Structure 1
Amino acid sequence: IIQDQTYDYPASFYEPDADELAFIQFSSGSTGDPKGVMLTHHNLIHNTCAIGTALAIHSKDSFLSWMPLTHDMGLIACHLVPFITGINQNLMPTELFIRRPILWMKKAHEHKASILSSPNFGYNYFLKFLKNEPDWDLSHIKVIANGAEPILPELCDEFLKRCAAFNLKRSAILNVYGLAEASVGAAFSKIGKEFVPVYLHRDYLNLGERAVNVSKEDQNCASFVEVGQPIDYCQLRISDETNERVEDGIIGHIQIKGDNVTQGYYNNPESTEKALTSDGWVKTGDLGFISESGNLVVTGREKDIIFVNGKNVYPHDIERVAIEMEEVDLGRVAACGVYDQKTQSGEIVLFVVYKKSPEKFAPLVKEIKKHLYKRGGWSIKEVLPIRKLPKTTSGKVKRYELA
């Protein structure tokens, strides 16, 4: 039962300086070393205002979010942004979304929410439970921000196609890029425009190489999306190993700078020094390039890349191909690199969440290896069943733990 409550406010408020620490948010820890990102009131005010502008928020808008408030997207983008911009917000407990994902769109319909968000897995999870055709009208949804995980254009497409029955606009999905070090948001696509898929030749995704476009049907296609341009108060550049800016179209290190960007890690001068370039840019640890249209395309996390036979292999590319098989599901499969001392080379190991008996898994191993070799040319060393994927609080797979 929801009851209206009135709170008595204290007679006086503490007024912090802009450069005082507002809170410390821990980076995802997907690489095994969570660090306390220091965020000031200055950082948060600039980032929340920039997100409000990027989403073209007006007084009639309202948010609906199931993202946890222990996660930067949930806390800053989906709680502080509507608070700062003075519009209504509807918060759904994350456990409730996990138990009954259908409530996400049911409540969006009931409350006429116009701004929603979800990482990549949420769309697939929702669709798995969408059986009958409810009588919803989702035409009022202006934006569903998609970020915090690698974004699959195929999944965006399927979600939009199936929700078209409820009048969801084709332009509703807004692909975005952010990280804890940027407060939360760094680059956003343009609202009101359809998302842009990017299909690249997977053999030309190495640092310093020019990205090569291929058709969606190409055997060597790895799929990505454009995530837009830097939002207000944030700058972004693509750099080489010496932190020099590279041309558009060349894959390099994504670096950020601006009023929303952290000054470093709490009580950790060593990590702070490692993260900053000599000219004051923060290294995000992500790789990507600027497309012909001037938009950022993120290709993957530098530390997640598997180096096999002189080639860079992106784990989420392997996972995307693996989920083409009926027995393998998104969010329940993870690829990672393991160094083999005997052969002195990197090997690919695939983990699949599997709850049935190991005897039933054995024949599946052969099928998965065959499918991945045929579709991507990857030789998989091992396919291992696992009861549960280890994940960080923000839903990123702890690949280092699996390795």
Structure 2
Amino acid sequence: MRNGSGSLARLGRRSPTRDLARPGARQESLREANLLLITEEIFASTEPLSRADLSVRTGMTRSTVSRLVEDLLAAAIVREGSPLIGPSRGRPAVPLMPAPRTLAGLGVEVNVDFMAARVLDLTGSVLAEAMVEGDFRSSDPAEVLGAAGDLAVRVAKEAGATGATVVGTTLALPGLVAEDERSLLLAPNLGWIDVDVVDLLCASAPEGVFGQSVRVANEAKLAALAVAQELTEVDGEEQTFLYVSAQMGIGSAVVINGIVEAGPHGWAGELGHISVEPSGPDCSCGSNGCLEVYAGKHALLEAAGLPASATAEDLIYLVKSGLGHPEQLQTQAEEALSRAGWSLGIALAGAMNVWDVHDVVLGGEFGPLTDLLRPHIEQQLQRRVLAARWVEFRVRESGTGPAPATSGGAMRALRAVLDAPEAWVPTS
């Protein structure tokens, strides 16, 4: 991981000069702003920085930087590495980096066919994780969230055994989340409407085990956050892309310069419910002809003649080798993929015309199918994107592994540390 960070510093970055620009700013406010700036510089850097490096980057005096760094060390937000002896005479530089196994975030996910929990520390390392498969369609939210809460408690305690303290928890759900970040408005594939999910998740949890705050967010947007981190490490620069993932339905998000663009209500990027064919089949959301009824996991497998329990790998093998089935079934599978790629291309073309974003990352069940879907997607992009003649499209696979929303949720929870490092500095 790049210096153990990167993505954490991009979560809702606040301007470190917000108080400096205000006439009559209190000395305390200046200190908080400077501490925030130092923290962001350490976490966003691709290489460990010394106190001298921080002084040059921020324009602060070395004595000011040293005092602020001591606060971050006391708060266990950063740690010192081994001194680096340079070619010049003088005191060796001491590199500063995110502290491992001190403060941590907990991400929890409930999806249609699994629930999972994962704890990440400030370096991005996984301290504990667990996943349980199940069928949660049309389920009882109290029962399912109670089980997810028990799973999350077990994972949080396992992380605590490493010496880490969970500072907060983020629950990922496949649906529309209310602005209060406590309630779920609608999750069609779960069959949930107007549920206070935070209360149900925490109902039997010991006090404090989930940290100082528990919030809920859209699963696809949290997954996109984890993907942005992954791709930034690979490419060495902030990422801009449309993220589309298939589980039972389709989740999606828009990422611009490493920031997930959620919109004023947090509902932006719902490509799965763009109608690609207004006269098409009914969708579980109440509309019809949605992308999800053509390219969702259930729809794709059904169209290919495979059972709902089949995987993307099963579909690939059927298309490439026939799996011992009649040629007619292989042709049916190829047509199902063509139809899914066609519908994805139409929905993505519309999004590109609105957002001016031309990179696509496919996750979930779409990931392994990327090579098979890409030609059909790109055919529609070339036809339907107004700027197609002047841009280069890129459709690639996400490599984040299973349940990326749990990683994104843990990163989101750790935002509390990086947005307000002064709150974690000991007062005595």
Q: Comparing both structures, which one devotes a greater share of its residues to helix?
A: 2
TM-score higher than 0.5: no
Q: Comparing both structures, which one devotes a greater share of its residues to strand?
A: 1
Larger CA Rg, structure 1 vs 2: 2
Q: Which has the higher contact order (CA 8 A, sep 6+)?
A: 2
